[in-house]
Amino acid sequence: MRLTGKKIIALVDEEFEDLELWYPVYRVREEGAEVHLAGAEKGKKYIGKYGVPAEAELSFEEIDSSRYDGILVPGGWAPDKLRRYGKVLQIVREMNDAKKPIGQICHAGWVLVSAGILKGVTVTSTPGIRDDMENAGAVWKDEPVVVDGHIISARRPPDLPEYGKAYVDALAAAK
Protein backbone atom coordinates (compact mmCIF):
# COMPACT_ATOMS: atom_id res chain seq x y z
CA MET A 1 0.00 0.00 0.00
CA ARG A 2 2.77 2.39 -1.02
CA LEU A 3 0.31 5.01 -2.27
CA THR A 4 -1.92 5.35 0.78
CA GLY A 5 -2.87 9.00 1.13
CA LYS A 6 -2.10 9.84 -2.51
CA LYS A 7 -4.79 11.33 -4.76
CA ILE A 8 -4.78 10.92 -8.54
CA ILE A 9 -6.80 12.50 -11.33
CA ALA A 10 -7.72 10.29 -14.30
CA LEU A 11 -9.08 12.16 -17.31
CA VAL A 12 -12.01 10.79 -19.33
CA ASP A 13 -13.81 11.70 -22.51
CA GLU A 14 -15.64 9.74 -25.19
CA GLU A 15 -13.77 6.86 -26.81
CA PHE A 16 -10.97 6.54 -24.27
CA GLU A 17 -9.04 3.29 -24.70
CA ASP A 18 -10.71 1.12 -22.07
CA LEU A 19 -7.62 -0.76 -20.89
CA GLU A 20 -5.46 2.36 -20.92
CA LEU A 21 -7.83 4.02 -18.45
CA TRP A 22 -8.85 1.16 -16.20
CA TYR A 23 -5.59 -0.79 -15.88
CA PRO A 24 -3.61 2.16 -14.41
CA VAL A 25 -6.58 3.27 -12.30
CA TYR A 26 -6.90 -0.17 -10.72
CA ARG A 27 -3.12 -0.48 -10.37
CA VAL A 28 -2.80 2.71 -8.29
CA ARG A 29 -5.92 1.81 -6.29
CA GLU A 30 -4.33 -1.56 -5.47
CA GLU A 31 -1.46 0.39 -3.93
CA GLY A 32 -3.83 2.50 -1.81
CA ALA A 33 -4.28 5.65 -3.92
CA GLU A 34 -7.58 7.46 -4.24
CA VAL A 35 -8.51 8.11 -7.89
CA HIS A 36 -11.02 10.65 -9.15
CA LEU A 37 -12.31 10.40 -12.71
CA ALA A 38 -12.71 13.83 -14.28
CA GLY A 39 -14.54 14.81 -17.44
CA ALA A 40 -16.06 17.90 -19.00
CA GLU A 41 -19.35 17.12 -17.22
CA LYS A 42 -19.58 15.85 -13.65
CA GLY A 43 -21.85 12.80 -13.45
CA LYS A 44 -21.70 12.03 -17.16
CA LYS A 45 -20.95 8.47 -18.26
CA TYR A 46 -18.27 8.47 -20.93
CA ILE A 47 -18.03 5.36 -23.08
CA GLY A 48 -14.72 3.78 -24.01
CA LYS A 49 -13.82 2.49 -27.47
CA TYR A 50 -14.93 -1.02 -26.46
CA GLY A 51 -18.06 0.00 -24.57
CA VAL A 52 -16.83 0.20 -20.98
CA PRO A 53 -18.33 3.23 -19.20
CA ALA A 54 -16.52 5.63 -16.89
CA GLU A 55 -18.52 8.15 -14.88
CA ALA A 56 -16.90 11.50 -14.21
CA GLU A 57 -16.86 12.19 -10.47
CA LEU A 58 -15.62 15.73 -11.09
CA SER A 59 -15.74 18.24 -13.89
CA PHE A 60 -12.45 19.62 -15.16
CA GLU A 61 -13.43 23.02 -13.76
CA GLU A 62 -13.67 21.59 -10.22
CA ILE A 63 -10.10 20.32 -10.17
CA ASP A 64 -7.53 22.04 -8.01
CA SER A 65 -4.29 20.41 -9.12
CA SER A 66 -2.55 21.36 -5.87
CA ARG A 67 -4.75 18.80 -4.11
CA TYR A 68 -3.54 15.92 -6.29
CA ASP A 69 -0.33 13.93 -6.42
CA GLY A 70 -0.49 12.82 -10.05
CA ILE A 71 -2.52 12.56 -13.23
CA LEU A 72 -3.32 9.76 -15.67
CA VAL A 73 -4.14 10.50 -19.29
CA PRO A 74 -5.51 7.49 -21.19
CA GLY A 75 -5.17 6.96 -24.91
CA GLY A 76 -7.76 6.09 -27.48
CA TRP A 77 -9.50 8.92 -29.32
CA ALA A 78 -10.28 10.80 -26.10
CA PRO A 79 -6.96 12.71 -26.08
CA ASP A 80 -7.93 14.53 -29.28
CA LYS A 81 -10.97 15.80 -27.39
CA LEU A 82 -9.24 16.36 -24.04
CA ARG A 83 -6.61 18.64 -25.52
CA ARG A 84 -9.31 21.08 -26.64
CA TYR A 85 -10.22 21.98 -23.04
CA GLY A 86 -8.20 24.90 -21.72
CA LYS A 87 -8.71 23.66 -18.14
CA VAL A 88 -7.22 20.24 -19.00
CA LEU A 89 -4.13 21.91 -20.47
CA GLN A 90 -3.88 24.17 -17.41
CA ILE A 91 -4.03 21.15 -15.06
CA VAL A 92 -1.36 19.30 -17.05
CA ARG A 93 0.89 22.38 -17.02
CA GLU A 94 0.40 22.83 -13.27
CA MET A 95 1.22 19.17 -12.64
CA ASN A 96 4.29 19.54 -14.83
CA ASP A 97 5.44 22.72 -13.07
CA ALA A 98 5.05 20.95 -9.70
CA LYS A 99 6.93 17.88 -11.04
CA LYS A 100 4.03 15.60 -10.14
CA PRO A 101 3.83 12.25 -11.97
CA ILE A 102 2.11 12.54 -15.33
CA GLY A 103 1.16 9.21 -16.89
CA GLN A 104 0.40 9.10 -20.60
CA ILE A 105 -0.06 6.17 -22.93
CA CYS A 106 -0.61 5.76 -26.66
CA HIS A 107 -2.41 8.82 -28.12
CA ALA A 108 -2.42 10.58 -24.72
CA GLY A 109 0.78 12.29 -25.83
CA TRP A 110 -1.44 14.68 -27.80
CA VAL A 111 -2.57 16.25 -24.52
CA LEU A 112 1.02 16.85 -23.44
CA VAL A 113 1.84 18.23 -26.90
CA SER A 114 -1.02 20.73 -26.66
CA ALA A 115 -0.01 21.64 -23.10
CA GLY A 116 3.41 22.56 -24.48
CA ILE A 117 5.42 20.57 -21.92
CA LEU A 118 7.45 18.18 -24.07
CA LYS A 119 10.40 20.29 -25.25
CA GLY A 120 13.52 18.26 -24.44
CA VAL A 121 11.56 15.46 -22.74
CA THR A 122 12.24 11.83 -23.71
CA VAL A 123 8.98 9.95 -24.28
CA THR A 124 7.25 7.20 -26.17
CA SER A 125 3.74 6.91 -27.61
CA THR A 126 1.94 5.04 -30.29
CA PRO A 127 4.15 5.33 -33.38
CA GLY A 128 1.24 7.06 -35.14
CA ILE A 129 1.86 10.30 -33.24
CA ARG A 130 5.65 10.16 -33.24
CA ASP A 131 5.86 13.16 -35.59
CA ASP A 132 3.57 15.19 -33.32
CA MET A 133 5.71 14.37 -30.29
CA GLU A 134 8.97 15.21 -32.08
CA ASN A 135 7.53 18.40 -33.58
CA ALA A 136 6.64 19.45 -30.02
CA GLY A 137 10.31 19.12 -29.11
CA ALA A 138 10.27 15.67 -27.51
CA VAL A 139 12.91 12.99 -27.99
CA TRP A 140 10.83 9.97 -29.07
CA LYS A 141 11.87 6.36 -28.42
CA ASP A 142 10.21 3.14 -29.54
CA GLU A 143 10.26 1.45 -26.13
CA PRO A 144 7.46 -0.04 -24.01
CA VAL A 145 7.88 2.55 -21.24
CA VAL A 146 9.98 5.69 -20.97
CA VAL A 147 10.45 7.56 -17.71
CA ASP A 148 11.90 11.05 -17.93
CA GLY A 149 11.70 12.61 -14.50
CA HIS A 150 8.02 12.84 -13.57
CA ILE A 151 6.69 12.02 -17.06
CA ILE A 152 5.93 8.34 -17.57
CA SER A 153 4.92 7.30 -21.07
CA ALA A 154 3.99 4.05 -22.79
CA ARG A 155 3.12 2.97 -26.34
CA ARG A 156 0.02 0.78 -26.19
CA PRO A 157 -1.98 -1.80 -24.18
CA PRO A 158 0.63 -4.61 -24.28
CA ASP A 159 2.93 -2.22 -22.38
CA LEU A 160 0.47 -1.74 -19.51
CA PRO A 161 2.22 -4.00 -16.94
CA GLU A 162 5.50 -2.09 -17.29
CA TYR A 163 3.67 1.25 -17.47
CA GLY A 164 1.61 0.52 -14.35
CA LYS A 165 4.71 -0.40 -12.36
CA ALA A 166 6.67 2.63 -13.55
CA TYR A 167 3.78 4.99 -12.72
CA VAL A 168 3.27 3.49 -9.25
CA ASP A 169 7.01 3.68 -8.59
CA ALA A 170 7.05 7.36 -9.61
CA LEU A 171 4.10 8.16 -7.34
CA ALA A 172 5.64 6.27 -4.43
CA ALA A 173 8.89 8.22 -4.83
CA ALA A 174 7.17 11.62 -5.23
CA LYS A 175 7.14 14.00 -2.31
Q: Checking DSSP bridges between strand 45-47 and strand 151-154, what pairing results, if any?
A: unpaired
d(CA 115, CA 92): 7
Could you give phi then psi for residue 8, rounded to 5 degrees? -125, 140
d(CA 1, CA 45): 29
Question: Does 175 or 139 have the greater pLDDT score?
Answer: 139
d(CA 79, CA 73): 8
pLDDT, one tens digit per residue, over 94-132 is 999 999 999 999 999 999 999 999 999 999 999 999 999
d(CA 109, CA 139): 12
Helix (H) or strand (E) holding 99: none
The CATH H-level (homologous superfamily) assignment of domain 7-173 is Class I glutamine amidotransferase (GATase) domain (3.40.50.880)
What is the pLDDT at residue 77?
97
Q: What is the mean pLDDT of the chain?
A: 98
pLDDT, one tens digit per residue, over 4-56 is 999 999 999 999 999 999 999 999 999 999 999 999 999 999 999 999 999 99
What is the share, in percent, of the chain residues with pLDDT greater than 90?
A: 99
What is the pLDDT at residue 130?
98
What is the pLDDT at residue 107?
98
- Does the annotation count 107 as an active-site position? yes
pLDDT, one tens digit per residue, over 76-90 is 999 999 999 999 999
pTM above the 0.95 mark? yes
pLDDT > 80? residue 175:
no
The residue annotated as part of the active site, out of 83, 100, 107, 156, is: 107
What is the share, in percent, of the chain residues with pLDDT greater than 70?
A: 100
